[in-house]
Amino acid sequence: MENAEADTAPQAPPATVERKKYLVFAALFTISLAADQVTKIWARSSLKGHPPITVIEGFFDFRYSENPGSAFGLFRNVAGARWLLLGIGLIAMGVVVSLLRKVKPNQLRLAAELGLLAGGALGNIIDRVASGVVTDFVLWKIHQHEWPVFNVADAALVVGVIALLFDMKGDKEPPKKTDIEKPSKKRK
C-alpha cells in the first residue's frame, strides 16, 4: 500500500524542474558578478595609489593593478586589444547562454559552473567598457615568486572552467559490455 501511495505522490511539473537550472545559474552568476564588482570598487578606493596590504606574509597580498590586456598580461601592448577582448568576452557570454539552454534540468552543477563563467566574463567586460582596463588586486606569492595579480572575476572563470573540465571528464561513460555473440548456425 505504501508503494502505491509513493507512486501517486505529486511530482514537480516539468516547467518547475527546468526553472531550477536557470535559478542555480542566476544565483551563481549574480553572486560572482556582485562579489567581483564590489571588491573592485573597494580596490579602486582603498588600494589605488597606496602600498600593498599584506594579508598573509610571504603568501597573499592585496596590490592594485590595472590590466589593459587579458590574463597574464597577454595583448597588453596590442593596439585595439580593448575591443578585441570585449568582443571575445561577448562571444563567450553567447556561448555560455547557448550551453545553458542545452543543459538538462537535472544538471544543476553544470548550470552553476556556467553561472560562474558568465559572472566572471561579465565582470571583466564591465571594466573594459567603463575604463578600458580591468582592475586586479589579488596577489598570491610564495616568497619571491609571484602569481600574476588577478580579481574575483578571474577566480570565478578559473573555478568554472576547472569544474567544467572535471565534469566533461566524468561524463564519459565506460564502454557497455555487449552480449557475447553466439556463432551463427550455418544453414545447409
Sign of CA dihedral 36, 68, 52, 46: negative
Q: Give the residue from 135, 9, 119 showing the smallest Cα distance to 63.
A: 135
Phi, psi dihedral angles at 134 (to 5 degrees) = -100, 130
> In sequence order, what DSSP letters do the residues of 40-66 get, joined into one string?
HHHHHHHTTTS--EEEETTTEEEEEEE
Of 154, 167, 171, 179, the catalytic one is: 154
154 catalytically annotated: yes
Contacts of 156 (CB under 8 A, 6+ apart): 32, 35, 36, 116, 117, 119, 120, 123
Per DSSP, 11 falls in state: -
127 catalytically annotated: no
Of 7, 61, 136, 167, the catalytic one is: 136
In the three-class reduction of DSSP (H, G, I as helix; E, B as strand; rest coil), residue 187 is classed as coil
Specify whether the CB–CB gap between 108 and 22 falls below 8 A: no
Catalytic (active-site) positions? 136, 154
